[in-house]
Amino acid sequence: MQLSDYIRDIQDFPKPGIVFKDITPLLANAEATKSAVEALLNLNGNQPIDAVVGIESRGFFFGTLIAQRLNCGFIPVRKPNKLPAATTSQSYKLEYGEDILEIHTNAIKMGDRILIHDDVLATGGTAEAVCKLVEKLGGEVVQCNFLIELTFLEGRRKLKGYQAKSVLSY
Ligand code: AMP
């Protein structure tokens, strides 16, 4: 099973010059999805995890699946004003301007061992912001894992000091 066969490149989406890594063909195939879950679990090894934090929105697909397999809970990190209870937020820089991510303040307990997951590591700004959110709540970031890493964008430089791993590199 070659997982890369199930990742589709979409040129110029969402804007000119971007090659979007589309994981919907992977999600549409049960065997490929199972294989991707196994690959993500292998990245973690046997490190104990108390909760998986997934990043809106494509981080929710595999985030919940790996949480199930790790026998732990899943915690969503969302764009502003989506989560209903009290939230903690973190701003981060985009190419132009700034964005904000939020997490439920009571979602993580002091000392919880957290696995952060997203579909794609690009420039790393998003994952870095989520690491900060987890730490603001007293959690320990055990690993950040990704299905896909766009190595030419050097996102892991922003994740220095964290364990960052990916299944597929481009
Ligand atoms: P970054 O903060 O630059 O690492 O961007 C990561 C976020 O943007 C992730 O949530 C990805 O889902 C999304 N993303 C960035 N670049 C791409 C891409 N080329 N294809 C698909 N998703 C992307």
CATH code of the domain covering residue 57: 3.40.50.2020
Please indicate, yes or no, if residue 22 is contained in any of the structural domains: no
pLDDT at 147 (0 to 100): 98
160 lies in which domain range?
47-169
Atom of ligand 1 nearest to the CA of 124: 4
* Whether residue 143 has its Cβ less than 6 Å from ligand 1: no
* Whether residue 21 has its Cβ less than 6 Å from ligand 1: yes
* Whether residue 125 has its Cβ less than 6 Å from ligand 1: yes
Please indicate, yes or no, if residue 6 is contained in any of the structural domains: no
**Cα-only R_g, the chain:** 15
Active site residue 78: no
Q: How far is CA 109 from CA 50, 68, 73, 114, 123, in A?
A: 10, 19, 12, 10, 29
For ligand 1, atom 17, the nearest C-alpha belongs to: 20
pTM of the model as a whole: 0.97
Please indicate, yes or no, if residue 3 is contained in any of the structural domains: no
Please indicate, yes or no, if residue 116 is contained in any of the structural domains: yes
Please indicate, yes or no, if residue 7 is contained in any of the structural domains: no
* Whether residue 20 has its Cβ less than 6 Å from ligand 1: yes
Question: pLDDT tens digits, the chain, 170 residues: what are they?
Answer: 999 999 999 999 999 999 999 999 999 999 999 999 999 999 999 999 999 999 999 999 999 999 999 999 999 999 999 999 999 999 999 878 899 999 999 999 999 999 999 999 999 999 999 999 999 999 999 999 999 999 999 999 999 999 999 999 99
CB 140 within 8 A of CB 114: yes
Q: How many domains does the chain have?
A: 1
* Whether residue 128 has its Cβ less than 6 Å from ligand 1: no
Lookup result for tokens 């364990």? 163
pLDDT at 94 (0 to 100): 87
> Which residues neighbour 156 within 8 Å (Cβ) at sequence distance 6 or greater?
121, 124, 149, 164
For ligand 1, atom 12, the nearest C-alpha belongs to: 120
Atom of ligand 1 nearest to the CA of 153: 3
The three-state secondary structure class of 121 is: strand
pLDDT at 95 (0 to 100): 75
CA of 105 to the centre of ligand 1 (A): 25
Please indicate, yes or no, if residue 62 is contained in any of the structural domains: yes
Please indicate, yes or no, if residue 135 is contained in any of the structural domains: yes
Please indicate, yes or no, if residue 13 is contained in any of the structural domains: no
**Interior CA angle at 164 toward 87 and 133, to 5°?**
15
